[in-house]
Amino acid sequence: MEYRNVGISELRISVITFGAWAIGGWMWGGTDKRAAEEAIRAAYDEGITTIDTAPAYGQGLSEEIIGEAIKGIPRGELQILTKYGLRWDTTRGVYYFTSIDNAGNEVKMYKYAGKESVIKECEESLRRLQTDYIDLYQIHWYDPSTPLEETMEAIVRLREQGKIRFAGVCNFTVEQFKHASSITSIISNQVNYNMLQRDIEADLVPYCLQEGKGILAYSPLARGLLTGKIVPGQPFPKGDHRSTHKLFQPENVKQINEFLKTLKPLAESHNATLAQLVLRWTIDQPGITAALAGARTKEQAVQNAHAVNICLTDEERAFIRERLASFILQV
């Protein structure tokens, strides 16, 4: 495994980070707790020491699964990343969207990061994770109903109390990121980034490189699309958000799979899967600290970890960029 510091901070994480959204089951058609715990432990055995989760992932379930899975692993060998500011148990803040929970009930999500709410969320996350500190505490989405100064006041307090080590943001624009960083130390921005969705290259990446900030890339496999295993009209379990996601419409899937066919010989030349090639490409991109790769089984976790074994040449990276340049205009 390879490890990098998040920006210029002292927080060092594995470049392949265990993304724990799917194991919470929420919006992924349910979960298998035992398989999820096995996946986390298998990831750790392969050197993946960093786990990213959030209370919203299964309304606490993802964090609870992680708390059980990491028992017996020295806490100092792990980096636990979680979030705050996306609530399902209050109507305060700004309405975000409505989804279905693992029990089939309607859940309304709100962006809310008021000071006392942030402190309450942190305490609940610590309890579910069965730990006494969080390595990186991140606001899940920008909350326009709460001044960032108020939100960051809570973060400063939690850091002073030793309950969090570092603070980060997620899904922030460059201007929002700058604003938060002007209030207190913010070391990273977690954003959607993959071969198909590269908008951050225009502004966020240059800013982070200049300011010494980290970028944590979520959905590096585009929710499974870039594995090459999704077919047009793919059936998904009830409650799986991909069934209505625009990228998964049949024509898009067809185009993406045609693009992936051009990369398959390159993956095979490295004795790698398409998913592993895509993960390696992602962590090789300027400004990207780590890729958050989800895994619901131990086999998937091991395969994700082995992506670091690929060593792409400059020529091979240029080849991928050429393929992307001709493909991206069609999506």
pLDDT tens digits, one per residue of 224-258: 899 988 778 777 777 777 877 888 888 888 899 99
Report the candidate in 82, 101, 87, 88 with the shortest Cα–Cα distance to residue 31: 101
Distance (Å, whole) CA 52 – CA 167: 13
Identify the pLDDT of residue 74. 97
**Phi first, then psi: what are they for 65, rounded to 5°?**
-60, -45
Q: Give CA separation, 264 vs 201, 274, 326, in Å.
A: 25, 6, 17
User: Is 205 a member of any domain?
Assistant: yes
Structure tokens given for 149:
């100064």
Tell me which residue of 100, 85, 75 sits closest to 237, measured CA to CA: 100
Quick count: other Cβ atoms within 10 Å of Cβ 266?
A: 18
Q: Are 276 and 303 in contact (CB under 8 A)?
A: yes
Residue 242, pLDDT score: 82
Annotated active-site positions, please?
A: 57
In a domain? residue 49: yes
3-class SS letters over the chain: CCEEECCCCCCEEECEEEECCHHHCCCECCCCHHHHHHHHHHHHHCCCCEEECCCCCCCCHHHHHHHHHCCCCCHHHCEEEEEECEECCCCCCEEEEEEECCCCCEEEEEECCCHHHHHHHHHHHHHHHCCCCEEEEEECCCCCCCCHHHHHHHHHHHHHCCCEEEEEEECCCHHHHHHHHHHCCCCEEEEECECCECHHHCCHHHHHHHHCCEEEEECCCHHHHHHCCCCCCCCCCCCEHHHCCHHHCHHHHHHHHHHHHHHHHHHHHCCCCHHHHHHHHHHCCCCEEEEEEECCCHHHHHHHHHHHHCCCCHHHHHHHHHHHHHHHHHC
What lies within 8 Å, CB to CB, of 90 at 6+ separation is 110, 112, 117
Tell me the pTM.
0.94
Instruction: Give tens-digit pLDDT for 31-69.
Output: 899 999 999 999 999 999 999 999 999 999 999 999 999
pLDDT at 54: 98
Please tell me the total count of domains within the chain: 1
Give the residue ranges of the chain where pLDDT is below 70.
Answer: 328-331
pLDDT of residue 328: 59
Handedness of CA 24, 293, 68, 125 (dihedral sign): negative
With respect to residue 243, please indicate whether it lies within any of the assigned structural domains.
no
| pLDDT for position 329 | 43
- Residue 27 structural domain: 3-224+275-311
Q: Is residue 235, in this structure, part of any structural domain at all? A: no
* In a domain? residue 330: no
Long-range contacts of 3-7 (CB under 8 A, 24+ apart): 3/49, 4/289, 4/290, 5/214, 5/289, 6/136, 6/166, 6/168, 6/187, 6/188, 6/214, 6/216, 6/289, 7/187, 7/188, 7/208, 7/211, 7/212, 7/213, 7/214, 7/289
Q: What is the CATH number of the domain that holds 99?
A: 3.20.20.100
Residue 214 placed within a domain: yes
Nearest alpha carbon to residue 172 among 161, 164, 180, 182: 180
Let me know if residue 262 belongs to a domain.
Answer: no
Degrees to nearest 5, angle at CA 186 with 180 and 189: 90
Q: Which of 71, 73, 68, 78 is nearest to 17 (CA)?
A: 78
- Residue 260: inside a domain: no
